[in-house]
A and B are shown apart, each in its own frame.
Chain A
């Protein structure tokens, strides 16, 4: 380092000269960085905290339990294609939280490992996510950016990619493209999906495309015939987890901690498996249970904590809302219910409801509110979405629809009275 030589002011100002925004844009070589935290994060101290850290959805486990079969399928497919140097597509579907993306990423990690070991030819890996693109055609930009690091417009990127994949180049290795959330790339023309799936069929492309979406019958339902034909028939469906698998997943993450007592995990697993079989949800409920246990100063998560967490997660706030309504609002809801009962039609008109409101108030020994008050009540209930109302300018002619079931209303009102 040179000693700091003082300079004349004129010289200094020249050096400092700030870059104009366009210049720094043009540079583009800077990697984006985030502001650093000033304080260090506290390391988890109690077993509950550690368990909570382990249970976070973002923590990738070393191995994915209960997905061995799918792993093998994808691995054999990709390995065969990469070692054959031929292109191809595979379509993977399954409801959210069944480990699709995690499994594919794990497969790719394994393939990369065997590539580093020299057992497999070099391949480039690119992933795009339909959700992260502002527009389907931005996919070209993303792909090109990941291939070369340059950023261009989509037209240009598309042209370059077209050139790259249609001309065969013996020096180039295989390219593996992972397209997550495929259904978001489907536009009316479907040109993006068509191109993504048409490149692998070209002789020189050496491109393998892995597509992931939720819908099982997306190719038949949304995609055009020619796109479906190119997508091919290599398909794989991830079934939802059953309770045993969910239990194993949670247990495998908690291996080594005894933060959860006895059957607690099983309860979570059974509750979640009965609804959706979403692993994310099971993990979230477990995390919530640790928080509840911590608040109650317990060492180990007990059945009560889990029960509370489950109730919170699968809660129904509407009955609570009805319970906390004002008395007159509850009467109004009752009036709507009785009007529905009277007419047998779900949609009721405000003036008829108002007619029902009178006797109900008299029965309760209260003064009947005037129309303006009733309308205000109606608007309030509509804002809470307990009622679905039409626009208030329609006045007494507006139609109302109960957004909760009549049973819920009766139940809540009875609960208040008792």
Chain B
């Protein structure tokens, strides 16, 4: 992490200082120093500054930064070898001159060698060609990833409960089962994997984590568990089941079995789930079973027989969807880690969190939207910056000033536009495109005509075609044949406006309108045509 954060800053700062001279601004130096907890190499830095200021006539601050980068990155080695290694490792997108810059020469002689490689003029020339290899934006983008995070903000209580539960069973050496439920994206798996990574549990337990979606069928879970336990494998499912049960009856280490996406194990008679949930009741089993799924009452609905025996009934733990405050906390935490907290303004964050919390409370969505907002802001910035560079290529400084000046925080406006795109629904998307083919418009209008004016609201394809035909004839438009008409309907279906219930005969398949009529009229946009057709009762069959 350190490595990634400091390197980009250096490059950005370089251009900044290059313009403003030697006065280092406070916030920037803080940022870089905070990231590099280094005491060991400070003398080297000083020395380096002296040398380079003599030979390269570059600014002090720049050298300090470069130096810091280098030392955090690679231990001292001979320069040549390091360069080779660096280039091999980091040929991703950085142009040669930059790389040479970040290398730290350890002796004056190597420094001289470096000087001869690329002159400062050439560096300046090459620098603007690179499209912002690293900036706050990309840092923020990286920070808002939806992979497993390091610390779980907003799930402290649940983590505590989980830990307590497992600790309790660990202390008493008893078995127990736990069912964790919650909507998607509320951090169930993340919490569990955090618990599993705890050293004390790692030591005390033999941990088996199974994601049930990866199973071929429900019963193949036994062989998977056997594999994880390191038992002797058998071919048949029953054989492996008995092997596990035998293992559980023997004396063994405490076992923590985590079944992710447990609802995938559903079968006709739930034999697999029942037998798994019965394992904790085996004497001396010492098994802590944790099942994860989305449904709140999965254990009640698909495993009703467990209710009969109290010792078998799993303890329930529900993960609530994230609240607005929690989502804000998570995003703030993530951005703080990457040191780009100021990329979002307060209102922007409020809006984002509020909207996502109101709709689903799914943190994956929140992070996704956050990342999307940053991406859009970045692409806009890129366009702005590209403009001046194209005009006057001779002056590369203009690009770099624009680059640093444009890295402004994401505001209310951008977040709103992304949210509207995502949550505004299909009607919003369509109003921008305004591209319904004419025949599709007429088809939809005819459907609305039938729904509004006809007595019989039951619409099938044949009837719709009949009305559509009349409407077309009246307007002197080409009438599509039935077979063509069916494909037209299915094209509209892909937009989610219609739903076709296919029967054996396509003529009899039912057509139902999925959107609200007002929304649809707004999406069609052609007000004159629409209202004309919708009120044209003569086209209806008598």
Interface magnitude class on chain A: 35 or more
Pairwise interchain contact A83-B437, C-beta atoms closer than 8 A: no
Taking CB atoms, residues of chain B closer than 8 Å to A234 are: 368, 372
Residues 231 to 276 of chain A near chain B (Cβ within 8 Å): 232-235, 237, 239-242, 271, 273-276
Decide: A230 and B364 in contact? CB cutoff 8 A: yes
A414 contacts the other chain (Cβ, under 8 Å)?
no
B interface footprint on A363-406 (CB within 8 Å = 1, 0 otherwise):
00000000000000000000000001000000000000101110
B92 and A275 form a contact (CB under 8 A):
no
Tell me whether A145 is interfacial, beta carbon within 8 Å: no
**A417 sits at the interface (CB 8 A):** no
Q: A86-B145, A195-B213, A229-B184 are in contact. Are A275 and B480 (CB under 8 A)?
A: yes
Q: Of A13-21, A127-135, A198-206, which binds chain B?
A: A198-206
Verify A405–B216 contact, CB threshold 8 A. no
B74 lies within 8 A of chain A by Cβ:
no
Q: Is the CB of B462 within 8 A of A232?
A: no
Across the interface, name the chain A residue whose C-beta is closest to B356. A233
Query: Interface with B: A29-37, A101-109, A113-121, A329-337, which one?
Result: A113-121
- Chain A residue, CB-CB nearest to B479: A316
Contact with A along B482-519 (1 / 0, CB 8 A): 10100110010111100000000101100000000000
Contact partner, B426, options A216, A276, A277, Cβ 8 Å: A216
From A83, A87, A189, A317, contact of B147 by CB (8 A):
A87
- Residues A314 and B482 in contact, CB atoms below 8 Å apart: no
Q: When the two chains form their complex, are residues A274 and B439 in contact, meaning their CB atoms are under 8 A apart? A: yes
The verdict on A71 contacting chain B, using a C-beta distance below 8 Å, is no
Report Cα–Cα, A202/B479, bound state, in Å. 53
Give every chain A residue within 8 A of B482 (Cβ-Cβ).
Answer: 316, 318, 403-404
- Check: B91 CB closer than 8 A to any chain A CB: yes
Residues in A whose Cβ lies below 8 Å from that of B438: 273-274
Cβ B507 vs Cβ A401 within 8 A:
yes
Interface of chain A residues 270 through 318 with chain B (CB within 8 A) = 271, 273-277, 314-318
Q: How far is the CA of A110 from the CA of B488 in the complex (A)?
A: 34
A169 in contact (CB, < 8 A): no
Which residue of B211, B264, B372, B379 is within 8 Å of A189 (Cβ)? B264
Shortest distance in angstroms between B438's beta carbon and chain A's nearest beta carbon? 4
| A residues near B142, Cβ cutoff 8 Å | 84, 86
Cα of A404 to Cα of B465 in the assembled complex, Å: 10
B437 touches A240 (CB 8 A): yes
- Contact yes or no, B494 A93, CB < 8 A: yes
B214–A195 touching, CB < 8 Å:
yes
Binds B, one of A1-9, A51-59, A72-80, A353-361: A72-80
B437 pairs with A314, CB closer than 8 A: no
Q: Are B184 and A226 in contact (CB under 8 A)?
A: yes
Cβ B437 vs Cβ A215 within 8 A: no
By a CB distance below 8 angstroms, the chain A residues around B294 are: 225-226
Q: What's the least CB distance linking A52 to chain B, in Å? A: 24
Asked if B491 and A80 make an inter-chain contact with CB atoms under 8 angstroms apart, the answer reads no
B93 touches A95 (CB 8 A): no
User: Separation in Å of the A219 CB from the closest CB of chain B?
Assistant: 11
Contact check, B481 vs A318: say whether CB atoms are below 8 A apart.
yes
Chain B residues, CB < 8 A from A83? 92-93, 133, 138
Of residues 111 to 136 in B, which have CB atoms within 8 Å of A's CB atoms? 133
Query: Is B362 engaged at the interface, CB distance under 8 Å to the other chain?
Result: yes
Cα distance, A96 to B495, chains bound together (Å) = 12
Question: Shortest CB–CB separation between residue A206 and chain B, in angstroms?
Answer: 10
Name the B residues within 8 Å of A405 (CB-CB): 462, 465-466, 469
A43 within 8 Å of B by Cβ? no
**Closest CB of chain B to A81's CB: distance in Å?**
9
In the assembled complex, the Cα of A273 lies from the Cα of B435 at a distance in Å of: 9
In the complex formed, the residue of A with least CB distance to B138 is: A84
In contact, B365 and A276 (Cβ under 8 angstroms): no
Query: Is A239 within 8 A of B496, CB to CB?
Result: no
Instruction: Check A225 against B184 for contact (C-beta < 8 Å).
Output: yes
In the bound complex, residues from chain B placing their C-beta under 8 Å from that of A86 are 141-142, 145, 147
Q: Which residues of A contact B31 (CB under 8 A)?
A: none
Which residues of the other chain, B, contact A237 by a CB distance below 8 angstroms?
A: 429, 433
- Residue pair A80, B437 in contact (C-beta under 8 Å): no
Taking a contact as CB atoms under 8 Å apart, the answer to whether B488 and A232 are in contact is no
Q: Which residue of B lies closest to A405 (CB)?
A: B466
A194 in the interface, Cβ–Cβ < 8 Å? Answer: yes
A146 CB → nearest B CB, Å: 20
> Is A346 a contact of B462 with CB atoms below 8 Å?
yes
How many residues of B are counted as interface, with CB atoms below 8 angstroms from the partner's CB atoms?
60
The answer to whether A201 and B214 touch (CB under 8 A), given A191-B264, A240-B437, is no
Interface residue from B138, B213, B433, B481 paired with A317 (Cβ < 8 Å): B481
Chain B 444-484 interface mask (CB, 8 Å, partner A; 1/0): 00000000000000000010011001000000001111101
Given A191-B264, A225-B184, A314-B484, are A240 and B435 neighbors across the interface (CB < 8 Å)?
yes
Contact (Cβ within 8 A) B481 A314: yes
Whole-angstrom distance between the alpha carbons of A86 and B216 in the complex?
A: 28
A194 to B142 CA separation, bound complex (whole angstroms): 23
Given contacts A83-B93, A274-B438, A314-B478, contact A72 B379 (CB under 8 A): yes
Q: Kindly list chain B residues whose C-beta atoms are within 8 Å of the C-beta of A189.
A: 213, 264
B103 within 8 A of A: no
Q: Which residues of B (260-303) have their CB < 8 Å from a CB of A?
A: 261, 264, 294
Contact flag A76-B364 (CB < 8 Å), given A121-B92, A315-B481: no
Give CA–CA (A198, B141) in the complex, Å: 19
Q: B364 to chain A: which residues have CB within 8 Å?
A: 201, 229-230, 232
With A and B bound together, what is the CA distance between A72 and B382 in angstroms? 12
The contact of B481 among A118, A214, A228, A316, by CB within 8 Å, is A316
B237 at interface by CB-CB < 8 Å: no
Q: Is A80's CB under 8 angstroms from B138's CB?
A: yes
Q: Report the Cα distance A229→B182, complex, angstroms.
A: 13
- Across the interface, do A275 and B213 meet the contact criterion of CB distance under 8 Å? no
A120-B92 contact given A191-B264, A232-B146, A274-B437, CB 8 Å threshold: yes
Given A191-B213, A239-B433, A315-B481; A80-B375 close (CB under 8 Å)? yes
Q: How far is the CA of A291 from the CA of B322 in the complex (A)?
A: 63
Q: B466, A276: Cβ atoms under 8 Å?
A: no
Is B369 close to A, CB under 8 A? yes
Kindly state the separation between the CA atoms of A271 and B439 in the bound complex, as whole angstroms.
10
The minimal Cβ–Cβ distance linking A384 to chain B, given in whole angstroms, is 14
Residues of A within 8 A of B138 (CB): 80, 83-84
B184 near A76 with CB under 8 A, answer: no
Interface status of B422 (Cβ within 8 A of chain A): yes
**B183 contacts the other chain (CB 8 A):** yes
Q: How far is the CB of B294 from chain A (nearest CB, A)?
A: 6
Interface membership of A162, Cβ < 8 A:
yes
What is the minimal beta-carbon distance from B368 to any residue of chain A, in angstroms?
4
Contact B141 A155 (CB under 8 A): no
Binding site for B on A (CB under 8 A): 72, 76-77, 80, 83-88, 93, 95-96, 118-121, 155, 158, 162, 189, 191, 194-195, 198, 201-203, 214-217, 221, 225-226, 228-230, 232-235, 237, 239-242, 271, 273-277, 314-318, 346, 388, 401, 403-405, 407
The 10 closest A-B pairs by CB, nearest first: A316-B481, A229-B184, A121-B92, A217-B496, A226-B184, A239-B433, A203-B147, A274-B438, A232-B368, A229-B185
- List 14 interface pairs A-B (beta carbons < 8 Å), by A numbering: A87-B145, A121-B91, A191-B264, A194-B261, A202-B147, A203-B147, A203-B148, A229-B365, A276-B437, A314-B484, A316-B482, A318-B481, A403-B505, A407-B466
Which residues of B approach A to under 8 Å, CB–CB?
91-93, 133, 138, 141-142, 145-148, 183-185, 211, 213-216, 261, 264, 294, 362, 364-365, 368-369, 372, 375, 378-379, 422, 426, 429, 433, 435, 437-440, 462, 465-466, 469, 478-482, 484, 487-488, 491, 493-496, 505, 507-508
Q: In the complex, given contacts A76-B378, A232-B365, A274-B438, what are 4 additional A-B residue pairs having Cβ atoms less than 8 angstroms apart? A: A72-B379, A201-B146, A276-B437, A315-B481
